[in-house]
Amino acid sequence: MVVCLYRERDFLSRLLARAEGCYDDLVVVHDGPDLDDVRSLVEAHGGRFFERPRRFIGDEHFIFAWRQARHDWMFRLDADEFPGPELAEWLRKFRTAPEPAVDTSGFEFVFPLWDGSAQATSRWPYRTALIHRQRIRFIGLTEQWLIPDRRWERVPCVLCHQPGNKNYGVEYLMRMTKRKRWLYATVLGLMRPPSALDCWRWKEPGWPGKWEVVRRHPLRTALIRLFRSFLGNACEMIQSGEPFKPLLLTHYPLHHWITCMAFRAVRKEWMHVQSLGLEPGGMVERGDSPQRVFILDDPDADAKWEAARRSGDGCWIVSKDAPPNDARRISELRARVLMRLDDLLIHSPNQIAWAEEFLCRNLVCEDKPPVG
């Protein structure tokens, strides 16, 4: 069993209790410093614990975790998931059963939607969780799906996903901070070739077709998937025996729309940055000191901007709504594209939370405090 998490000690404790006897090897990868002593919990259950640099996204650690596993068949979970009673029993039998057919890349389980206090569905949708690592491919991109060599096999047992909040719907997609981080990491990652990311058995120079159409035609793809996703999921919901609940079907089409539109906006900003002679993914080569100073738009921003200019460093003021006629100010979106770990972020004490969120939205951010 492989788990990637950030803190979530209580959720992991629940998972380990519900998954007792369901695995032979336990690998837990922690995103950043272990502040809650998750290690002791993992080791008490005979598992191996790895602490990795903070990436704010569990997907960044999947491939590392798979490399640590001692077996090819891996039960891949988040900490806030756990097998239902029937699935737990199925997994215990799977451990001693004959090897599945060689054309089986993995198994899908019922993955009910959760409204924060109860399951909103019971037979739909499905999610792949048990995989054979030599029969799947993966690109280290947030929101990247597992790519099977052959086929998935469906098992009508429930894999529970019960976080502390609702895990679907408009509010989940639009308001949750971590969803925004995942979104920006996804679209910024798509600006590069797959070879720029960590890949698992993916040898192609280009992106899978589902991503390539987003890269080439984001608006058209958004419109097509807005309707196709609704209809496709409606058919699957009915075929699975789940009572038809049209409001639940809005989640996936909206997710596609948001992703495509975010990519379209980032691509526009990316091209604009390149037109200025800058390198969006990492800026130009620099010396020992930052060549770009980002100043958050507080009451002292203009004075800080003047001071930075006098020091000889190029700088911009990062504004939520950057006026088009003010060359000193740039949008958050453009700043996210330009930012690097060694850039200097100046902020006042009352902006710490906003500054931390600003850093968290960057594809390559680590658990380092802003420099002030």
Q: For 342-362, how does the pLDDT look when each residue is reduced to its tens digit (9 = 90+)?
A: 455 665 555 555 555 555 544
Q: Is 22 in the same domain as 145?
A: yes
- 259 lies in a domain? yes
pLDDT in the model for residue 278? 61
Residue 270 in domain: yes
List the chain pLDDT tens, one digit each, 372 residues.
999 999 999 999 999 999 999 999 999 999 988 989 999 999 999 999 999 987 777 888 999 999 999 999 999 999 999 999 999 999 999 999 999 999 999 999 999 999 999 999 999 999 999 999 999 999 999 889 999 999 999 999 999 999 999 999 888 887 766 777 788 778 888 988 999 889 999 999 999 999 999 999 999 999 999 999 999 999 999 999 999 999 999 999 999 999 999 899 888 877 877 776 665 554 443 444 445 677 888 888 888 888 888 877 678 888 877 777 888 888 777 776 666 434 556 655 555 555 555 555 443 333 333 333
Task: Report pLDDT digits (tens) over 29-85.
Answer: 999 889 899 999 999 999 999 999 877 778 889 999 999 999 999 999 999 999 999
Judge whether 297 and 318 are in contact, CB under 8 Å: yes
50 three-class SS: strand
- Is-above-0.85 flag for pTM? no
Co-location of 24 and 127 in the same domain: yes
Q: Are residues 65 and 131 in the same domain?
A: yes
What are the strands, taking DSSP E only, across 204-255?
Answer: none
Q: Are residues 41 and 139 in the same domain?
A: yes
Residues 106 and 240 placed together within one structural domain of the fold: no
In a domain, 370, yes or no: no
Q: Are residues 356 and 264 in the same domain?
A: no
Claim to verify: residue 178 and residue 298 sit in the same structural domain: no
pLDDT at 343: 52
**Domain shared by 325 and 242, yes or no:** no
What is the span of the domain harbouring residue 91?
Answer: 2-161
What tokens appear for 314 in the block?
């190029």
Domain finish residue from 275, 308, 323: 275
The answer to whether residue 296 sits within a structural domain is yes
- Report yes or no on 147 lying in a domain: yes
Identify the pLDDT of residue 296. Answer: 82
| Domain assignment present for 285 | no
Q: What is the CATH number of the domain that holds 7?
A: 3.90.550.10
Same domain for 125 and 33, yes or no, is yes
Is residue 208 domain-resident? yes
Last-in-domain residue among 275, 300, 318: 275
Same-domain pairing of 82 and 196: no
Same domain, 188 and 139: no
Nearest in space to 84 (alpha carbons), one of 12, 156, 31: 156
How many domains, in total, are found in the chain? 3
User: What pLDDT sits at residue 287?
Assistant: 41
Whether residue 366 lies inside any domain: the answer is no
**For residues 363 and 163, what is the distance between their CA atoms, to the nearest angstrom?**
24
Do 178 and 263 sit in the same domain of this protein? yes
**Boundary (domain end) residue, out of 135, 161, 187:** 161
pLDDT, residue 362, reads: 46
Residues 6+ positions from 192 with CB-CB distance below 8 Å: 281
For the record, the structure tokens of 180 come out as 């925004």
